[in-house]
Amino acid sequence: MIDRRSLLRTGGTVALGAFGLATCACSPTAGAQNPSPTTASAGATSGVIRVELQRTEAPFTGFEIIQTRFEIPVGQASGRHSHDGGKEVGYIIQGDVLMEFDDRPPLRLKSGDPFLIPTGVVHNARNVGTVQTMMLSTYCIDASKPLVTPH
Protein backbone atom coordinates (compact mmCIF):
# COMPACT_ATOMS: atom_id res chain seq x y z
CA MET A 1 0.00 0.00 0.00
CA ILE A 2 1.28 3.46 -0.87
CA ASP A 3 0.84 6.44 1.45
CA ARG A 4 0.48 10.11 0.49
CA ARG A 5 4.12 10.96 1.18
CA SER A 6 5.34 8.09 -1.02
CA LEU A 7 3.00 9.11 -3.82
CA LEU A 8 4.25 12.68 -3.76
CA ARG A 9 7.88 11.50 -3.61
CA THR A 10 7.42 9.34 -6.69
CA GLY A 11 6.08 12.29 -8.64
CA GLY A 12 2.90 10.52 -9.63
CA THR A 13 4.46 7.45 -11.22
CA VAL A 14 1.57 5.47 -9.78
CA ALA A 15 -0.91 7.63 -11.69
CA LEU A 16 1.11 7.36 -14.88
CA GLY A 17 1.20 3.59 -14.44
CA ALA A 18 -2.58 3.58 -14.62
CA PHE A 19 -2.19 4.83 -18.19
CA GLY A 20 0.43 2.19 -18.88
CA LEU A 21 2.92 4.99 -19.36
CA ALA A 22 5.21 4.46 -16.41
CA THR A 23 8.06 3.60 -18.76
CA CYS A 24 7.59 6.82 -20.76
CA ALA A 25 10.91 8.52 -21.50
CA CYS A 26 10.33 12.06 -20.27
CA SER A 27 12.94 14.76 -20.77
CA PRO A 28 14.45 16.14 -17.57
CA THR A 29 13.21 19.60 -18.50
CA ALA A 30 9.63 18.53 -19.07
CA GLY A 31 7.02 20.03 -16.81
CA ALA A 32 6.75 23.19 -14.85
CA GLN A 33 10.04 24.26 -13.28
CA ASN A 34 8.29 26.64 -10.87
CA PRO A 35 4.65 25.63 -10.77
CA SER A 36 2.32 28.49 -10.05
CA PRO A 37 -1.35 28.40 -9.16
CA THR A 38 -3.84 29.27 -11.85
CA THR A 39 -7.53 29.89 -11.54
CA ALA A 40 -9.45 26.71 -12.19
CA SER A 41 -11.98 26.35 -14.98
CA ALA A 42 -14.81 28.79 -15.55
CA GLY A 43 -17.63 27.97 -13.17
CA ALA A 44 -15.27 27.05 -10.35
CA THR A 45 -16.10 28.62 -7.02
CA SER A 46 -13.95 31.08 -5.09
CA GLY A 47 -10.49 29.90 -4.05
CA VAL A 48 -10.35 26.83 -6.31
CA ILE A 49 -6.97 26.53 -8.04
CA ARG A 50 -5.19 24.14 -10.37
CA VAL A 51 -1.39 24.00 -10.25
CA GLU A 52 0.22 22.39 -13.28
CA LEU A 53 3.09 20.29 -11.94
CA GLN A 54 4.44 18.86 -15.17
CA ARG A 55 3.65 18.46 -18.87
CA THR A 56 5.34 16.32 -21.46
CA GLU A 57 4.66 14.66 -24.79
CA ALA A 58 3.11 11.21 -24.53
CA PRO A 59 4.95 8.32 -26.20
CA PHE A 60 2.35 8.35 -28.98
CA THR A 61 1.78 11.09 -31.54
CA GLY A 62 -0.65 13.92 -30.83
CA PHE A 63 -1.06 13.39 -27.09
CA GLU A 64 0.49 14.92 -23.99
CA ILE A 65 0.62 13.99 -20.33
CA ILE A 66 -0.32 16.70 -17.86
CA GLN A 67 -0.14 16.36 -14.09
CA THR A 68 -1.85 18.84 -11.76
CA ARG A 69 -2.55 19.48 -8.11
CA PHE A 70 -6.12 20.68 -7.66
CA GLU A 71 -7.14 22.48 -4.46
CA ILE A 72 -10.71 23.11 -3.31
CA PRO A 73 -11.47 25.11 -0.13
CA VAL A 74 -13.98 23.79 2.39
CA GLY A 75 -17.54 24.10 1.08
CA GLN A 76 -16.45 24.98 -2.46
CA ALA A 77 -16.62 23.05 -5.75
CA SER A 78 -14.62 22.69 -8.95
CA GLY A 79 -17.55 23.71 -11.16
CA ARG A 80 -19.15 21.40 -13.74
CA HIS A 81 -16.61 20.49 -16.42
CA SER A 82 -15.29 17.67 -18.58
CA HIS A 83 -11.98 16.59 -20.06
CA ASP A 84 -12.92 15.98 -23.68
CA GLY A 85 -9.39 15.16 -24.80
CA GLY A 86 -8.77 12.19 -22.50
CA LYS A 87 -9.19 10.46 -19.16
CA GLU A 88 -8.38 11.83 -15.72
CA VAL A 89 -6.62 9.51 -13.29
CA GLY A 90 -6.64 11.00 -9.81
CA TYR A 91 -5.76 10.52 -6.17
CA ILE A 92 -7.20 12.35 -3.14
CA ILE A 93 -4.16 13.58 -1.20
CA GLN A 94 -6.26 15.22 1.52
CA GLY A 95 -9.90 15.92 2.20
CA ASP A 96 -13.36 14.57 1.46
CA VAL A 97 -14.89 14.97 -1.99
CA LEU A 98 -18.30 14.30 -3.42
CA MET A 99 -17.73 13.73 -7.14
CA GLU A 100 -21.01 14.60 -8.84
CA PHE A 101 -21.83 13.39 -12.37
CA ASP A 102 -24.52 14.21 -14.90
CA ASP A 103 -24.92 10.58 -15.99
CA ARG A 104 -24.36 8.45 -12.87
CA PRO A 105 -24.69 8.49 -9.07
CA PRO A 106 -22.24 10.64 -7.08
CA LEU A 107 -19.02 9.11 -5.78
CA ARG A 108 -17.82 9.84 -2.22
CA LEU A 109 -14.01 10.00 -1.99
CA LYS A 110 -11.69 10.50 0.99
CA SER A 111 -7.97 10.91 1.59
CA GLY A 112 -6.08 8.04 -0.01
CA ASP A 113 -8.77 7.16 -2.58
CA PRO A 114 -7.97 6.89 -6.29
CA PHE A 115 -10.49 7.82 -8.98
CA LEU A 116 -10.91 7.68 -12.74
CA ILE A 117 -13.01 10.10 -14.80
CA PRO A 118 -13.68 8.81 -18.33
CA THR A 119 -13.15 11.05 -21.36
CA GLY A 120 -15.95 13.59 -21.83
CA VAL A 121 -17.87 12.81 -18.62
CA VAL A 122 -19.27 15.99 -17.03
CA HIS A 123 -18.41 16.14 -13.33
CA ASN A 124 -18.11 18.48 -10.36
CA ALA A 125 -15.79 17.87 -7.39
CA ARG A 126 -17.36 19.26 -4.21
CA ASN A 127 -15.36 19.58 -0.97
CA VAL A 128 -17.70 18.15 1.66
CA GLY A 129 -15.07 17.85 4.38
CA THR A 130 -13.54 20.05 7.06
CA VAL A 131 -10.14 20.70 5.43
CA GLN A 132 -9.00 22.01 2.06
CA THR A 133 -9.18 19.23 -0.52
CA MET A 134 -6.00 18.46 -2.47
CA MET A 135 -6.11 16.11 -5.45
CA LEU A 136 -3.32 14.89 -7.71
CA SER A 137 -4.64 14.39 -11.25
CA THR A 138 -2.85 13.05 -14.30
CA TYR A 139 -4.32 13.37 -17.77
CA CYS A 140 -3.35 11.87 -21.10
CA ILE A 141 -4.93 14.41 -23.44
CA ASP A 142 -5.27 14.85 -27.18
CA ALA A 143 -2.93 17.84 -27.65
CA SER A 144 -5.40 19.49 -30.04
CA LYS A 145 -8.07 19.71 -27.31
CA PRO A 146 -8.25 21.81 -24.15
CA LEU A 147 -7.51 20.23 -20.78
CA VAL A 148 -10.83 21.46 -19.34
CA THR A 149 -14.18 22.24 -20.94
CA PRO A 150 -16.56 24.14 -18.59
CA HIS A 151 -20.26 23.18 -18.63
Is residue 75 within 8 Å of residue 98, measured between CB atoms? no
d(CA 49, CA 127): 13
Please indicate, yes or no, if residue 10 is contained in any of the structural domains.
no
Query: Which CATH number belongs to the domain containing residue 102 in this structure?
Result: 2.60.120.10
pLDDT at 22: 36
Query: For this structure, is 68 an active site residue?
Result: no
d(CA 87, CA 83): 7
Give pLDDT tens digits for 138-150.
999 999 999 999 9
d(CA 77, CA 98): 9
Please indicate, yes or no, if residue 27 is contained in any of the structural domains.
no
Q: Which residues contact 12 (CB under 8 A, 6 or more apart)?
A: 53, 54, 67, 136, 138
Instruction: Domain of residue 118: give its range.
Output: 49-143
Q: How many domains does the chain have?
A: 1
Catalytic residue among 13, 56, 119, 149: 13
Give pLDDT tens digits for 97-109.
999 999 999 999 9
Please indicate, yes or no, if residue 91 is contained in any of the structural domains.
yes
